[in-house]
Amino acid sequence: MSRRLEGKVAVITGAAGGIGSEMAKLFAAQACRVTVNDVADEAGDRVVRQIREAGGAAVYVHADISSAREVDALFERTAAEFGGLDVLVNNAICSAGDTTIADEEESVFDRTIAVCLKGPFLCTRRALPLMKQRGGGSVITISSVNALFGVGETAYTAAKGGLISMMRLVAAEYGEWKIRSNIICPGTIETANCMEYWSRFPEGFARLKAMYPLGRIGQPREVAEYALFLASGESSFVTGAVHVVDGGLLAGRRFEV
């Protein structure tokens, strides 16, 4: 086992599948003790079991991060189990039914904002005092390329854009306590949910891949590896930054006359 996060404790929200589970398993493989948070209990328990079978340390905590009460319980359990907190990864999302602004249902907008924007606010607010007690920490927030150019769902895009401003402010306000705050903006990543959606639109998926200069979409592990860098001491002078992990999508496309 490599030990880039030895002695560290991390909370990863939305860690039952996709990008979150890859981060949880990778962090644990680097000697980090991990709280796996989600509302998908069976999948969350499976991630913890995989971590423990590989020799790592992890617990699963069911919590809806849009609830302050459940967020409090999440961090109380982490502190009780592992003695503190060094790393928070704000990863959980909710975008079911999200669509263009003219067609958006108010209930869908409210729920998406509650999980994708309010949730990271509640988690970060609860994590910061624990990080102060440890003499520093790293807050890593998963935003999206949706926050940086006009594409995709209304509420999801609004929340992901809001995360950038909020988490850069955290970097400015908490740097004196050696707490770093960074944002990752992934492009399209090959998760189960993503592929289930695009399986209904094979021609659209082909056009999507063609938008990426690398000719493919990303893998969850590629985002997890970047999060590991931001969680580790290797990024000790990196804070307040927006890190785009998008296979060149925002760079543009090759133009041929």
Cα(242)–Cα(143) distance, integer angstroms: 9
Number of Cβ within a 10 Å radius of residue 160: 25
Count of H-run helices and E-run strands, the chain:
9, 7
Cα(171)–Cα(158) distance, integer angstroms: 21
Which of 60, 156, 174, 212 is labelled catalytic? 156
Cα(13)–Cα(181) distance, integer angstroms: 16
226 in catalytic set: no
Number of Cβ within a 10 Å radius of residue 162: 18
Sheet holding 33-38, edge to edge: 57-62, 33-38, 9-12, 87-90, 137-142, 179-186, 242-245
Q: Are 10 and 33 in contact (CB under 8 A)?
A: yes
| Conformational region of residue 254, where left means phi above 0, alpha means psi within -120 to 50, and beta covers everything else | beta
Residues assigned a catalytic role: 156
